[in-house]
Chain A
């Protein structure tokens, strides 16, 4: 199994490097350019007072608010796209293009196939975040003398790494949808809808009272992209909740993959029945 796991990581190597460096661009640019326009940001704050920006948690009142509104807010959303691409590509994508048939025909229990692929996906997400977070931390270290903040480079690193449970949850949901839906296309569409609904729903819940009651359904609710979270870190209970969602989605992926007719491309309720 180790060989399959290493191979899974090898398959993802280029994606890890490309996404890691690509995502790095955001903190490097946003954090790196902060000193050059820090004195102009208070002018933007007036604009930030409008409800929509408040709902989106955007604030330019401080360095921490600026970083939270740009980097911490954006990185999990963008990385969630990778989670969907990779999560649905892992089982559904390989089934669609026929490669999964070769693996399933080998003497490996199906749950192990899902477990190895899920583990590789989780590590890939952690590595991408680590590259991005390191970029943010190093950039802050480079400009720290020009910025008035209590956030340390290490604190910056860990505040972004804290997005891992959130993107992991999206990846495992995508993995599950891949084992559940007839095709990767449908799985990816559903996963994208979940992410968009979760992001917008969580933000709009701050504006619309009726949504407040269902805020707990939106996964972004469990990841705080705020100045306070940047300084004090995420709530452990929130991170635990996200990890539990990831675990539940993984368990469902195993369950449905165990029962799946590979290469058939059908919903679980479309299993064959002998005509009466």
Chain B
């Protein structure tokens, strides 16, 4: 059997003539947490849906545990816990009824026993009807349903959406515990600290193509900062011509810099020029990733 829990080759999905994903070759190893990143519409959800046989590929193949996602999909999905990004539930059911029904359909004795523990950990009142639950609590229902049968593979699409910071932390704890128990986790997220904290590797998908995959440590080593500084008087041209520093925007008294190196020199120069305000502009993981790969033109498909 393949050492890869998830394996796709030339995976391509077109919606009519509209591009979904193109030629995605993805390999996720057993026991790793793989972050799947990209802007909206890049193809993250499409990839996840193909893996679960919700939609069918136009070309290429997708395998879970070495099993064809379509022909052997039922067998493969027994070992998968899935949390969709756009979670829609049966509103008239109580959360407990939903868990019991899901456990029965999964044919999992573990799930019947485990969902209560998970609900307690996430402070979820499972006796309430789903329609009475807040967005965050509905998300908890989805999280419990994904984890309750202790699957070998978790496919999570934005798992912490709608959760408060404490709950986000608890969900990430569940992800770490699943990994410790030997599970593989494949999840998409926009939250950089979340990805940084738990992922072993990340892959970025852009306009339907997997631009690259990389280990998180390697990626974060390349992190840059974006600073916006305002001065009492217009700074002289070329004041920030330093190695690893790029001017990305400038008007009369304000200058925006992308700083990869020499932060101390930047700050020292700014101080001598009479800085009146400084702001750090958040950098997305995608920007870091694309910067690292020279706007996505290369990379180690590790």
Q: Please report the C-alpha to C-alpha distance between residue A98 and residue B85 in the assembled complex, in whole angstroms.
A: 10
B17 touches A106 (CB 8 A): no
Q: Which positions in B face A, CB cutoff 8 Å?
A: 12-18, 20, 49, 52-56, 58-59, 74-78, 80, 82, 84, 86-90, 92-93, 97, 100-102, 104-107, 145
Nearest CB in chain B: distance from A177 CB, A = 20
A274 touches B12 (CB 8 A): yes
Q: Does A263 contact B (CB under 8 A)?
A: yes
Contacts of A261 in B (CB 8 A): 54-56
Nearest CB in chain B: distance from A96 CB, A = 10
Determine which of B14, B20, B54, B90 lies in contact with A105 in the assembled complex, contact meaning CB atoms within 8 Å: B54
Contacts of A105 in B (CB 8 A): 52, 54, 77, 80, 82, 84
The residue on A at minimum CB distance from B142 is A102
Nearest CB in chain A: distance from B108 CB, A = 10
A-B contact pairs, 11 of them (CB 8 A): A7-B101, A11-B92, A98-B84, A102-B84, A102-B87, A102-B88, A104-B54, A105-B84, A108-B105, A271-B16, A272-B13
Q: Please, what's the 1-or-0 string for A242-271, where 1 marks a CB less than 8 Å from any CB in chain B? A: 000000000000000001011110100011
Q: Please report the C-alpha to C-alpha distance between residue A274 and residue B145 in the assembled complex, in whole angstroms.
A: 36
The residue on B at minimum CB distance from A109 is B74
Contacts of B14 in A (CB 8 A): 272-275
Nearest CB in chain A: distance from B189 CB, A = 19
Determine which of B17, B80, B90 lies in contact with A11 in the assembled complex, contact meaning CB atoms within 8 Å: B90
B74 touches A3 (CB 8 A): no
Q: Please report the C-alpha to C-alpha distance between residue A272 and residue B90 in the assembled complex, in whole angstroms.
A: 30
B15 touches A264 (CB 8 A): yes
Q: Does A236 contact B (CB under 8 A)?
A: no
Nearest CB in chain B: distance from A267 CB, A = 9
B54 touches A99 (CB 8 A): no
Q: Please report the C-alpha to C-alpha distance between residue A1 and residue B105 in the assembled complex, in whole angstroms.
A: 6
Contacts of B93 in A (CB 8 A): 7
Contacts of A263 in B (CB 8 A): 49, 54-55
Nearest CB in chain A: distance from B135 CB, A = 14
B74 touches A107 (CB 8 A): yes
Q: Please report the C-alpha to C-alpha distance between residue A259 and residue B106 in the assembled complex, in whole angstroms.
A: 23
Nearest CB in chain A: distance from B56 CB, A = 6
Nearest CB in chain B: distance from A161 CB, A = 28
Q: Please, what's the 1-or-0 string for A99-127, where 1 marks a CB less than 8 Å from any CB in chain B? A: 10111111111000000000000000000
Q: Please report the C-alpha to C-alpha distance between residue A98 and residue B100 in the assembled complex, in whole angstroms.
A: 20
Given A107-B74, A272-B16, A4–B55 Cβ distance below 8 Å?
Answer: no
Contacts of B59 in A (CB 8 A): 274
The residue on A at minimum CB distance from B79 is A107
Q: Does A97 contact B (CB under 8 A)?
A: yes
Q: Please report the C-alpha to C-alpha distance between residue A61 and residue B105 in the assembled complex, in whole angstroms.
A: 56
A99 touches B77 (CB 8 A): no
The residue on B at minimum CB distance from A14 is B92
The residue on B at minimum CB distance from A3 is B104
Determine which of A4, A264, A275 lies in contact with B17 in the assembled complex, contact meaning CB atoms within 8 Å: A275
Contacts of B76 in A (CB 8 A): 107
Nearest CB in chain B: distance from A124 CB, A = 15
Nearest CB in chain B: distance from A256 CB, A = 13
Contacts of B92 in A (CB 8 A): 11
The residue on A at minimum CB distance from B75 is A107
Contacts of A11 in B (CB 8 A): 90, 92
The 4 closest A-B pairs by CB, nearest first: A98-B88, A272-B14, A3-B104, A261-B55
B105 touches A4 (CB 8 A): yes
Q: Please report the C-alpha to C-alpha distance between residue A261 and residue B59 in the assembled complex, in whole angstroms.
A: 14
Contacts of B104 in A (CB 8 A): 2-4
Q: Please report the C-alpha to C-alpha distance between residue A274 and residue B92 in the assembled complex, in whole angstroms.
A: 41
Q: Please, what's the 1-or-0 string for A144-173, where 1 marks a CB less than 8 Å from any CB in chain B? A: 000000000000000000000000000000
Nearest CB in chain A: distance from B12 CB, A = 6
Q: Please report the C-alpha to C-alpha distance between residue A4 and residue B88 in the assembled complex, in whole angstroms.
A: 17
Contacts of A108 in B (CB 8 A): 74, 105
The residue on A at minimum CB distance from B107 is A107
Nearest CB in chain B: distance from A3 CB, A = 4
Contacts of A102 in B (CB 8 A): 82, 84, 87-89, 145
B86 touches A98 (CB 8 A): yes
B106 touches A266 (CB 8 A): no
Known contacts A101-B86, A107-B78, A272-B58; 6 additional CB pairs below 8 A are A99-B88, A102-B88, A105-B77, A105-B80, A261-B54, A274-B58
Contacts of B106 in A (CB 8 A): 106-107
Determine which of B55, B75, B78, B84 lies in contact with A264 in the assembled complex, contact meaning CB atoms within 8 Å: B55
Nearest CB in chain B: distance from A10 CB, A = 8
Contacts of B15 in A (CB 8 A): 264, 266, 272
Contacts of B105 in A (CB 8 A): 1, 3-4, 103, 106-108
Nearest CB in chain A: distance from B46 CB, A = 10
Nearest CB in chain B: distance from A5 CB, A = 10
Nearest CB in chain A: distance from B74 CB, A = 5
Q: Please report the C-alpha to C-alpha distance between residue A86 and residue B158 in the assembled complex, in whole angstroms.
A: 32
Nearest CB in chain B: distance from A36 CB, A = 42
A3 touches B100 (CB 8 A): yes
Q: Please report the C-alpha to C-alpha distance between residue A264 and residue B104 in the assembled complex, in whole angstroms.
A: 28
Nearest CB in chain A: distance from B150 CB, A = 15
